[in-house]
Structure 1
């Protein structure tokens, strides 16, 4: 076989590959991201106790809208009783404008041992990015809402009545990429109502270990101005978790 024949055969065999994968081909953008984190602790011997916390966050971001959902779970028990059990579901939908976005948001909390065992909050409003660079992002939100609270049962109030309130919700979401493998974020939220006020701070420090795995330290604190008798105004949660991100 001549060199000319070999060259013709090579071009013939290669042409389908070029047709299937053009030289300027790029993978389509992936609008979906997710984070899953969990931490577990088991103590035996002089102290028998178990604790677990988990968090799942799903985000679907397009040119027009952003859909975000977060679910958190906390559980702790000693050798005799359950000492903590809390579930938190947050849903938010943003519709992007030329400047900022409008949002609808719902948060649903079930806390067996909290000062309020059921807390449902629905709000809407306007948000915008006050800072948006490669390393730093700060988003601000404000809008009206409605809150439902069910106080924990006590000896004095074994069957407490639910409380409702119209609120003004303000929020600031901050994220700072310290360097390629380390990120710090903090979300500060205030809900001002006619009957009660709350302030919540949710912070996290994430350090990538390898590929999509990271170690995360979380700190959550919530202050409630008016609580049932015998309850504390401030609740705090500190977590040490492994986190996996995929997209």
Structure 2
């Protein structure tokens, strides 16, 4: 009896290995996710250093692409909280057929910033985008379309009870990704929102270096310029982050 069990135990693993080729790899998945956290430096309307976190989810199929990003920033000095900001970005794209890499999209950007020049920012937009370059090492996408933006200014001594600003905008975006080497890459997103009452320009850059397997070290810089800001606040906000990033798919 013992000899029969031993023969079955030894035979089964060998049979299972015979069914799986030595160079077998899991098929590519339509779903990818990035989770990162780390250290940040703030300049502009806030001067402090602390921690931040970011999660990005992407579901990319043959016909559609769904993207969602959540960012959280929190900073405090020896006395009090100096920065508390939350960003949510959602985009749904439908890929057009006809032999070109074009797509139409709907997008929403939402920000709660306790110490920013605007404490609440909500932007919804739609439009057309296309992949100008898309190969193994370089990707370049361009987007343009109309939108609507809601801004709530921060309370100041000059304006203790501010009124929200509502503006129709034209949003344009350039998304660039360059693979420098096998384990390093550079990303840069430039977004402009032009409105009758106010305009913004945002540059989001990052450098990623893979450490091992799915872990990477990432340096990021986010610079946002706002043309019209409440009195006593600055037009330019800069956030620099140093994060450890994990990617799974």
For Structure 1 versus Structure 2, the TM-score category normalised by the shorter chain is 0.7 to 0.9
Tell me how far apart the structure 1 counterparts of residues 180 and 174 of structure 2 sit (CA, whole Å).
Answer: 19
The alignment yields a C-alpha RMSD, in angstroms, of: 2.3
Distance in 1 between the 2:112 and 2:49 partners? 20
Q: 2:149 aligns to what?
A: 147
Match of 1:59 in 2: 58
The equivalent residue for 1:3 is: none
In the other structure, the counterpart of 2:185 is 183
Report how far residue 122 of structure 1 moved: 0.1
Aligned-pair CA distance for 1:27:
4.2
Q: Is the alpha carbon distance of 1:188 and 1:29 closer, same or farther for their aligned partners in structure 2, counting shifts above 3 Å?
A: same
Q: Which residue of 2 aligns with 1:130?
A: 132
CA distance in 2 between partners of 1:17 and 1:132 (Å) = 40
Count of residue correspondences: 228
Cα deviation, residue 156, structure 1? 1.6
Which protein is bigger by CA-based radius of gyration? Answer: 1
Paired residue for 2:222?
Answer: 220
How far apart in 1 are the matches of 2:49 and 2:128? 42
Contact 2:39/2:241 (CA < 8 Å) preserved in 1?
no
Q: Which has the higher contact order (CA 8 A, sep 6+)?
A: 2
Give the aligned partner of residue 85 of structure 2: 86
The aligned residue for residue 44 of structure 1 is none
Residues in 2 aligned to 1:210 and 1:36: alpha-carbon distance in whole angstroms: 15
Q: Deviations over 1:29-81 (max 9, x none)?
A: 3111000110147xxxxxxx861111110000000100000011111101211
1:9 is matched with none
Question: For residues 156 and 17 of structure 1, what CA distance do their matches in structure 2 show?
Answer: 75
Report the counterpart of residue 29 of structure 2 in structure 1.
30
Could you list the structure 1 runs, at least 4 aligned residues long, displaced by more than 6 angstroms after superposition. Answer: 20-23
Task: Using the TM superposition, give the Cα deviation of residue 228 of structure 1 relative to its aligned residue in structure 2, in angstroms.
Answer: 0.5
Describe the SS at the equivalent of 2:229. coil
